[in-house]
Structure 1
Amino acid sequence: MSYIIGVSSGWWGVARSDELLGLSSKIGSTATYGVNFVQVDFESIAEFQEPDVIKEIGKLLTTLQIDWGMHGEIGENLALESALEVVWKRSHRRLHQYLDTIYYRFFVEDKEGKLRNYLPKYIAFHASNLPTISMVVERYRYAGHITVDFNGNVNWLLFFEDEDPELREAKKRAKKWFFESELVYLLIARESGVAFMSLEEVKRRVLERAIEKKRIELGKTGSLTQEELEQIIRSLTPEDIENTAWEYFEEISSLRFARGAITYEEISYLLVARYLFEARDSRKEPLWRAFFKDKNWEDIQKETKIDFFDKEKMEIRLPDDIVALVASRYIIGHLWGKNKEEFIVETRKTYGTNDQNFIKFLEKTPIEKLHELGIRIVFENPEIARAGEEGLHRLCRASDIFRLVKTIDNLYREAYGEKTRPYPLIGMVFDQEHYLHNNMDPLKEIEGLREVMEDLKEKDAGRFIYVFHVSAPKPYHPAHEPIDIGSEAQYWIYKYAYELRKLGFGKGSNVGIIVFERGGARGGQMPIQFVGQSAAALRIVVEYLEKEVDPEKLPMEFYGVDSKEILSFERQLNIVREHHFDPLRGLLRVPEERFTFLGKKVIEKGKSPEEWKKEELR
């Protein structure tokens, strides 16, 4: 079967329902829903600490003959796209916690190896959990937080000193551009704590420091004559000014925060974007080509009509494409980054085991851990956080998420060669309701996917589009309304799925998991009622999806009208025809012929028209 119908468990923190108290309860609550897959919505990684939880999960999956997946937490605990140190570390810790806990529960505790068959099929994370940094209110809400590069390092001066010869020159060019574009002066103005009124004022201060440095080098003491001053200024090279500017930044950052620290996230994002542009020809940094193909830096500024750095206003403006590019690089940084030593120590203390395989596992990167576990992470287009922020998440569009997962798959396959898993370790979730309440048209997002497939020369996007989240398509968060058989909601879900199938979703050898996300009930309905109805509607959707029936040519059976049943169209039409003269009864002056015609001999033998009428439908 190319499609699996599932339902989400829902969050106990939202529904406050007894059947959602614990992982095994969440799985068991779906027993009567008529589905064969459950997506367990996690409140916290601590849910794995429930006594005997994995054994209970195994029993339920065996008894109910279903599979399961995981939906990770939402919010800053898993904001993998953030450059803020506190958010980056918290998110990195959490990502490793999910994978380490799964390994411990399913591999270390299970000495017999029986529970490994019950691993979740995927872990779903939102691709973005923070609004874009181009909004001024967000910029200043987070101002003052130390940022890190995509590897989690605070010192941005070290970021430019890459030991990899393939990337070293790209970073040198990025650093050179940072100076020549005068962004280093903005950095000094922002980080110094001095009230500079313009970039020119900063440049004068840097020049004064360069002159003083040269004076000391020349061994001149006391006040300089005008001629000596002019001579020193003429002797200064652009490299002298550049080195002085960076030394000034190093000094002020060391005094205020930490050596090389940047406390404005938009500056960090712009710096990483420039580096990705400079490294665009390296196989190790393919993101720029994935997003912009052969376009250069100036092309993007010209297309968007946005100067990334406004010198006059001393502001940085980042278009959404650049933000999505850098957000993707931060996510890749997490996947290829080992856990911090302090968090590894924390995990070992939590489980108190000396199992050598587990200790080795803790030292691996998330992509290595996923490879060993054989499970996937799927990135879902985010839900709206607050009203008024529709579409502002850093990584929101289906096309951008696809660029991310495709790039990760290429990097993974290049690293592992023939040892790669037969399926991508990183996939995506298409959530049609999330697009709607983000003021986006799901059909246009699917069309955007099609265009990106052509750009990246990918013929089968179904390898990556693993999960389709559905509910009645409403532009509210979070509506998660039931799907009625024969409703417009059922039609639109079919239409979205049909277009996704054209891209490969659930087609051929690809498995497509269609998950109804449980929301509230109607008028006091029990979950078995509104979830069961939605599952029944999805079974009809899948039936016609596999037949690849055009959405505009769906038969009446799709809408629940079956010619074999009592409410069939044909039967109802015959009844209408039989009674179509009823409104005229009693209004005509000619004899009424209610019983068609009976022969004289029949009537003489005592057969009345009323009896004949009763026998008509025998």
Structure 2
Amino acid sequence: MPLKVGVTTGLYYVARAEELATIVKKIGYGLTRGANVIEISGDVPHEIDYTDGKEVRYISEKQGIDLLFHGSLTVPITIPERSDWRDAYDHMQKSIRSAVNSGCKYSLFHSCLHFWVEMLTYVGTKLEITMCDHEGRFISEVMHEEPKLGKWFIKHMWDLGEGRYPAQIMNEEERVEAAQTAHSEMRVREREETSRIEQEAGLKAKQAELKFKAGETTEEEMMEEMKKINKDAQAKIKHITEKIGVDESKLARSYMEKIVRKKIESNDKDVRDWNVKTYGRLSDAYKIMSHYLFYTKDPIWKAMVEVYKDKVVGEYKLDYSDFYWLDNAWKRAEDGNDRVFKEFYYAACGAKFLEGHTKKILDWLEGDYIKNELKNKPELVKYAKELKLTFEVPDARDPKYAGLYMIYHPKQLYAAIKTIRKTLKTNRVFITMDFEHMATQGLDPVEELDELTKKIKDFGKYIVSVHSNSPNPLHSHYPIELGDMKLYKCLHYMRRSGMGREHPVYLIFERGGGEDPFKQAVDALRIMANFLEKDIKPEDLPMDFYGLKMTAGDVERQRQIMMDHRFEPLKDLLEVPEEEWGFLSSAATRKGKQKEFRKEELR
């Protein structure tokens, strides 16, 4: 299958260039770059409506180019918050509409927008959140689906969310019922205990009185004994009262736990719903979801374990029979600042949310969108049916969070996409690589991809496009230069793991700004694509790779000239007569044509 070379249109809000002011201008300018693929950089997800789409499709068909669409840049795919989940879904829908309207081959999204949730602050995030699962449902649904998770949550709900969750789950009537039931039981117990102590004190007082009457003690001794008996009884009653107060609190908790358990296990969704759904925490939502994945041995979890096997299985001794393995592992990672384990933890949860979004958006795309929205637009149906979804490794927009994004490493995205395709039984979901994005995350793309593709032999099979700018943590979108060996190595490593062997793959230069943002980038990529399709290893690349077009005999000519001059270092050191011209024709000598003869002798 071919490797197709393309360019991006660029973003108007970044370059502020006149040629990017409208979608038609974006396409027109891209056509002047000599590429046969154009990836439309969407400034907004709803950039291409049906009217503009007709014009864009006409240009594409007449020019014979493939169009691709880079969807919304602000899709919070991995965030376990219901309104964020809905925003992400909305942006994905709008992006897909733009892609279909313009006849694009795929719609692209970043695999995640945020870094680890434990690092998110109130600035830029919601003060009150409604926790949700991977499919956008309220978080209580996964507790109902997995009994072990429900059991775990009931035990830990007093520690999560600063202990607020029980009060949020139950309504006021249920809370009052639990408290009153516990109080009533404890009052009965208190009366029983107090009565028993008083009876014991009464018996002791009677015995003291009998001793006095029998003459065994004096009246003064009897009165002292009575005081002691009364004091001891009062102390016991006080102790019992305090203990019953503590026990009442514990009993009330146990009654609340029974109510929560009953709500979680109920088959009635209205019963399962919490009384107050806000005031959740992102970190708590991830704790709940991570335990859901662990207890169910979810395919996403197992796939992520596989790419972190040395850490999770080797070092942390993964044990599904240990109910509290994940709790203990997280505490160990937290205490020891083990960022590799946290990478695994967040990637597993984030990938599950990626799966949930993919499932929901494909259900919509293949169902309601085609059947209803495109009902009167039959010319768009084929584009909708053939549209691919691809997810790109994200850039670290803030360098202090480099390497701390939810799904930032190619191996994480590989585990997620391969599993999603299998779980959802779809071949419409792919990976887009970006070497600049990898570099902004603190990775060395050359080293990482060499090592990765040696271990994961089918990594390239899931790639549909590559943002083929030279690796650079500055994210400069600098034009590709001829003979960029770093870039070729990255592409070669992916090629050897299957890239472009089962379906077309787009090698795309992402334009930057400046007077000429492309320069020789397209030519350089075409040369690379040619050698990649021939499976030429980096060490075997000819001079053509560097833009040096050799003509017949050039190498041999240079070698012969070197041979002719091989003795020059010895000149003036030999006593034998030195010849300047070698063998000359006598006719050439007579005519004074020695130099001409010398030039011709090597032709």
Mapping 1:136-151, distance limit 5 Å = 138=121, 142=125, 144-150=127-133
Q: State TM-score, norm by structure 1.
A: 0.71
Equivalences for residues 209-608 of structure 1 within 5 A: 212-216=180-184, 230=244, 233=247, 236=251, 239-240=254-255, 242-243=257-258, 259-280=276-297, 285-292=298-305, 295-296=318-319, 306=332, 319-337=342-360, 357-358=372-373, 373-413=385-425, 424-446=427-449, 449-450=452-453, 453=456, 460-476=458-474, 478-486=475-483, 490-507=484-501, 509-521=502-514, 524=515, 526-527=516-517, 530=519, 533-564=520-551, 568-572=554-558, 595-596=581-582, 598=584, 606=591, 608=593
Shift of 1:589: 13
> Deviation per CA, 1:54-98, whole angstroms, max 9, x where unpaired?
2322232233221111111213xx111112333222111111222
Counterparts of 1:360 and 1:610 in 2: how far apart (Å)? 82
Asked if 2 retains the 8 angstrom alpha-carbon contact of 1:379 and 1:427, the reply is yes
* CA contact 2:453–2:493 (8 Å) conserved in 1: no
Distance 1:8 1:292 in 2: 35
The match for 2:160 is 186
Matches within 5 A, 1:104-119: 105=101, 119=103
* Aligned partner of 1:89 among 86, 90, 97: 86
Structure 1's 242 and 573: CA in aligned 2 closer, same or farther, altered over 3 A?
same
Q: Give the corresponding residue for 2:197.
A: none
Match of 2:31, SS state, is coil
Tell me the distance in 1 between the aligned counterparts of 2:575 and 2:246.
Answer: 122
Fraction of identical pairs, as percent: 25
Deviations 1:119-140 (A, max 9, x none): 21111111011111132x5377
After TM superposition, give the deviation of residue 376 of structure 1 in Å.
1.0
Check 1:443–1:479 CA distance in 2 against 1; reply closer, same or farther (3 A cut): same
One-letter amino acid matched to 1:71? H
Contact 1:128 1:395 in 2 (8 A): yes
How many angstroms does 1:504 deviate by? 0.8
Structure 1's 258 and 572: CA in aligned 2 closer, same or farther, altered over 3 A?
Answer: farther
Deviation readout 1:466-519 (Å, 9 max, x if unpaired): 11221122221x212222213xxx212221122112221112x33222111112
Partner residue in 2 for 1:133: 117
Secondary structure at the counterpart of residue 104 of structure 2: coil
**Cα displacement (A) at 1:386:** 1.0
Aligned partners of 1:151 and 1:337 also within 8 Å? no
Stretch moving more, 81-90 or 235-244: 235-244
Q: Is the 8 A contact 1:470 1:515 kept in 2?
A: yes
Shift of residue 322, structure 1, vs aligned partner: 1.4
Aligned residues: 520
1:599 and 1:174 map into 2 onto residues whose CA distance is 98
Aligned CA distance change for structure 1 residues 370 and 268 (closer, same or farther; 3 Å): farther
Amino acid at match of 1:517: E
**Is contact 2:399–2:440 with CA below 8 Å preserved after alignment?**
no
Specify whether residues 560 and 270 from structure 1 end up closer, same or farther in structure 2 by C-alpha distance, changes over 3 A only: same
Structure number having the greater helix percentage: 2
Uncovered stretches (5+) of structure 2, i.e. residues with no partner: 169-173, 195-236, 265-273, 307-312
Are residues 1:71 and 2:44 paired? no
Structure-2 change in CA distance of 1:482 and 1:356 (3 Å): closer
Q: Residues of 2 paired with 1:401 and 1:16: CA distance? A: 33
**Other-structure match for 1:62:** 61
Per-residue CA deviations over 1:105-131 (Å, capped at 9, x if unaligned) read 3xxxxxxxxxxxx72111111101111
- 1:79 corresponds to which letter in structure 2? P
Question: What is the rounded CA distance, in whole Å, between the counterparts of 1:359 and 1:548 in structure 2?
Answer: 43
Greater Cα shift, 320-329 or 184-193 = 184-193
Residues 535 and 579 of structure 1: CA distance in aligned 2, closer, same or farther (over 3 Å): farther
Deviation readout 1:422-459 (Å, 9 max, x if unpaired): xx211101111211121112245436754874xxxxx6
The answer to whether the 8 A contact 1:480-1:517 is kept is yes
Give secondary structure in 1 for the equivalent of 2:152: helix
Q: Contact 2:446–2:486 (CA<8 Å) still a contact in 1?
A: no
Query: Displacement of 1:318 after TM fit?
Result: 8.2
| Equivalent residue, structure 2, for 1:417 | none
Aligned CA distance change for structure 1 residues 158 and 213 (closer, same or farther; 3 Å) = farther
Q: Counterpart of 1:164?
A: none
Tell me, yes or no, if the aligned pair for 1:428 and 1:464 is still in contact at 8 Å: yes
SS at match of 1:552: helix
- Give the distance between the partners of 1:223 and 1:21, measured in 2 at CA: 83
Following TM superposition, by how much is the alpha carbon of 1:572 offset from its aligned partner in structure 2, in angstroms? 5.0
> Which sits farther off after the overlay, 376-385 or 292-301?
292-301
Q: Unaligned regions of 5+ residues in structure 1, if any?
A: 106-117, 162-167, 195-205, 250-256, 311-316, 342-346, 349-354, 363-368, 414-419, 454-458
- What are the superposed Cα offsets for residues 552-602 of structure 1, whole Å, 9 maximum, x if unpaired? 232333323343179x55555556667889999999999996555556666
Deviations 1:385-435 (A, max 9, x none): 11211111111111111121112111222xxxxxx6xxx211101111211
Tell me the equivalent position of 1:201: none
